[in-house]
Structures are given as structure tokens and as C-alpha cells.
């Protein structure tokens, strides 16, 4: 009976995978092809699991929920918009500007910026905004962009 003793765990694994019979040595070419097949198999399994779990996450999370925005009409043609906008961390500030794309369509442009003197972890956080848009009382629509990316919003009107 032969004892297999090896100090290095890597060499032990090598002997288990590629054979440990001392009478038949594995040549470099055979070692190369076996290692290539094992590496290709690991990459294929990893990529397949990435695709599978990526599609599971996409199906689970789906489309992002619309951001609720409150529109309070205080005077004729004066819309006070307010709400909470998600920012990357508590160190990020929020700036809002409004742009009239047409007479009946307005775009809220949110820009986030990080406070350079603070260091924070990237956790989900939100900032409150308030802005005023002067537009007709009825028949107008709003859209929103955060850092240049369109986001869905849901406007709740109060008079």
C-alpha cells in the first residue's frame, strides 16, 4: 500500500485531479489540455450562473417604482412640486431645475452631487425637494430626469 504525503495542498489537489500514480507521469501537453478544459468548464458554469441569476433578479425587481411627487396648486398657474428623490448616499446633495419642453409639458431635472469634504458609504438615501412651476392649472404633464436618466414619476394633485 502506498502512502500519499504532500506538504503543499496545491500539489495534493494536482495529484488528485491529474493522477498520482508514480509509474505513469502526466506530460506537459496532457497537463496543459486538462487544465484548459477545467478552466473552460469553470468559466462556462460561472457565466451560465451569471446569466441565470441576472435574469432572476431582473424578473424579481422588474421596472422601478414611480417616484411620488405632490403638486399643490396654490394660485392660478402656480404649481408647488415636492417629493423625495433617491440619491446614492447621505453625502449627496440634490439640485432641481425645471424646463418647459412645450406649453403643456415640463421636465424636472434633478442633479445629484457629492459633498467633497465628506466620505460616506453608498447606501440608499433620499433628499426632499421643493420647486415652483408657473403653468396652466390643467392639461399639463411632467417628466423627470435624475442625472440625465429618465425616471418614472407619479404626480398627485391637490388644490
pLDDT tens readout for residues 5-42:
444 555 555 555 555 555 555 678 888 889 999 999 99
139-147 mean pLDDT: 92
Same domain, yes or no, for 54 and 71? Answer: no
User: What integer pLDDT is reported at residue 91 of this predicted model?
Assistant: 85
Confirm whether 80 is domain-assigned: yes
User: What integer pLDDT is reported at residue 6 of this predicted model?
Assistant: 47
Range of the domain at 57: 9-61
- Is the pLDDT assigned to residue 52 strictly greater than 90? no
Same domain, yes or no, for 84 and 98? Answer: yes
Under the banding of pLDDT at 50, 70 and 90, the label for residue 123 is confident
69-81 mean pLDDT: 88
Confirm whether 23 is domain-assigned: yes
User: What integer pLDDT is reported at residue 150 of this predicted model?
Assistant: 92
Same domain, yes or no, for 17 and 74? Answer: no
35-63 mean pLDDT: 81
Same domain, yes or no, for 93 and 134? Answer: yes
- Average pLDDT, rounded, for the chain: 81
Same domain, yes or no, for 77 and 93? Answer: yes
55-81 mean pLDDT: 79
Same domain, yes or no, for 126 and 148? Answer: yes
As to burial, measured by CB atoms within 10 angstroms (0-12 exposed, 13-18 middle, 19+ buried), residue 85 is buried
Helix-helix angle 9-18:28-61, to 10 degrees: 100
**Percent of all residues in the chain with a pLDDT value above 70, rounded to a whole number:** 78
99-108 mean pLDDT: 92
Residue of 93, 85, 88 whose CA lies nearest to 66: 85
Confirm whether 1 is domain-assigned: no
Number of domains comprising the chain: 2
Amino acid at each position: 500500500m502506498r502512502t500519499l504525503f504532500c506538504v503543499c495542498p496545491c500539489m495534493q489537489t494536482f495529484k488528485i485531479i491529474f493522477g498520482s500514480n508514480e509509474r505513469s507521469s502526466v506530460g506537459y501537453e496532457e497537463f496543459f489540455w486538462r487544465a484548459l478544459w477545467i478552466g473552460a468548464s469553470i468559466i462556462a458554469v460561472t457565466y451560465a450562473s451569471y446569466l441565470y441569476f441576472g435574469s432572476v433578479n431582473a424578473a424579481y425587481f422588474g421596472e422601478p417604482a414611480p417616484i411620488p411627487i405632490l403638486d399643490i396648486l396654490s394660485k392660478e398657474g402656480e404649481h408647488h412640486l415636492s417629493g423625495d428623490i433617491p440619491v446614492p448616499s447621505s453625502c449627496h446633495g440634490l439640485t432641481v431645475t425645471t424646463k418647459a419642453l412645450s406649453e403643456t409639458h415640463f421636465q424636472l431635472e434633478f442633479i445629484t452631487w457629492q459633498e467633497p469634504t465628506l466620505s460616506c458609504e453608498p447606501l440608499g438615501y433620499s433628499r426632499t425637494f421643493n420647486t415652483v412651476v408657473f403653468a396652466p392649472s390643467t392639461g399639463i404633464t411632467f417628466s423627470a430626469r435624475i442625472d440625465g436618466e429618465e425616471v418614472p414619476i407619479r404626480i398627485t394633485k391637490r388644490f
